[in-house]
């Protein structure tokens, strides 16, 4: 049985003080039966780590360089994140892919993260146009396959299915449909890791709909954007998930 992961992606929101206050307010989030993760902006990571010290809440970053330390202006290396006690790193988010990140870069970033001892969360998902087409499942399988190319420790990967049209729109995927498509993606993974890899759902998740997703056989948690910025709502998501 895969343990649920409830991940909050703060995206480019909050100033440092607000992020620290949000982390403080999450100290009593229920981590008994689910894993909980917050991914603040890079600039907040150290302060958020201090605010969460002594809790079981995992710390994440929202991106990482495909390179190791060196002359790469503006980039953040996986080793730097590990030095800040970061546990997970999100890669291949559609908001990064939308700025030109391709599958091969996503795979390199995930490999760098693993080399530094971080656990990558690799996002995949389709546009509304692809969603409505016959190519949907093939598109998703190919995207995942290419985003995992060359990665050795596949059992340490988490995947996150985020239909682009459901992100920040209030339009969630149908839970049964998300479960079915995630099941098909799972079935296409290396049989040695199929049963181990966690696959999350992301896209307009809130406390009132999370249970419907995590109750499904193939959905091992959620990647939450907007609703992770309100401590009470994020704690309610973790609570609802743990009772689902």
Ligand X SMILES: O=C[C@H](O)COP(=O)(O)O
Cβ contacts of 146 within 8 Å, gap of 6 or more: 103, 104, 106, 107
Backbone angles phi, psi at 193, to 5 degrees: -120, -5
Residue 212 labeled ligand binder:
no
Going by C-alpha positions, the residue among 103, 223, 226, 220 that lies closest to residue 162 is 223
Residue 225 labeled ligand binder:
yes
Binding mask 37-76 for ligand X (x = CB under 6 A): ----------------------------------------
- Which residue number places its CB atom closest to ligand X? 225
Distance CA 186, CA 164 (A): 19
- Per CB under 6 A, the list member of 5, 9, 120, 179 interacting with ligand X is 9
Is 243 among the catalytic positions? no
Please count the residues of this chain forming the interface with ligand X, following the rule CB under 6 A.
Answer: 14
- Per CB under 6 A, the list member of 29, 205, 219, 238 interacting with ligand X is 205
Is 95 among the catalytic positions? no
DSSP 172: P
Distance CA 224, CA 227 (A): 6
Which entry of 93, 95, 101, 240 is annotated as an active-site residue? 93
User: For residue 22, what is the enclosing H or E element?
Assistant: helix 16-25
Interface with ligand X, residue 240, by CB under 6 A: no
Positions in the binding site for ligand X (CB under 6 A): 9, 93, 162, 167-168, 202-205, 223-227
Binding residues for substrate: 9-11, 168, 204, 225-226
Catalytic (active-site) positions = 93, 162
């Amino acid at each position: 049985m895969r343990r649920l992961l409830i991940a909050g992606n703060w995206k480019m929101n909050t100033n440092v003080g607000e992020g620290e206050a949000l982390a403080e307010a999450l100290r009593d989030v229920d981590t008994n039966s689910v894993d909980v993760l917050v991914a603040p902006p890079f600039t907040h990571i150290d302060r958020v780590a201090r605010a969460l010290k002594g809790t079981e809440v995992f710390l994440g970053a929202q991106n990482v360089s495909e390179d190791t330390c060196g002359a790469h202006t503006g980039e953040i290396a996986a080793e730097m994140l590990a030095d800040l006690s970061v546990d997970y790193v999100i890669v291949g988010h559609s908001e990064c892919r939308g700025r030109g990140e391709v599958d091969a870069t996503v795979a390199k970033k995930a490999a760098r993260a693993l080399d530094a001892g971080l656990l990558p969360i690799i996002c995949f998902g389709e546009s509304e146009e692809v969603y409505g087409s016959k190519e949907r499942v093939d598109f998703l399988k190919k995207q995942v396959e290419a985003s995992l190319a060359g990665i050795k420790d596949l059992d340490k990967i988490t995947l996150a299915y985020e239909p682009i049209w459901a992100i920040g729109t209030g339009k969630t995927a149908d839970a049964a449909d998300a479960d079915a498509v995630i099941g098909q993606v799972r079935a296409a993974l290396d049989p040695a890791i199929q049963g181990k890899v966690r696959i999350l759902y992301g896209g307009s998740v809130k406390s009132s709909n999370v249970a419907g997703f995590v109750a499904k056989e193939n959905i091992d948690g959620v990647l939450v954007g907007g609703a992770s910025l309100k401590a009470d709502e994020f704690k309610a998501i973790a609570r609802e998930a743990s009772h689902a």
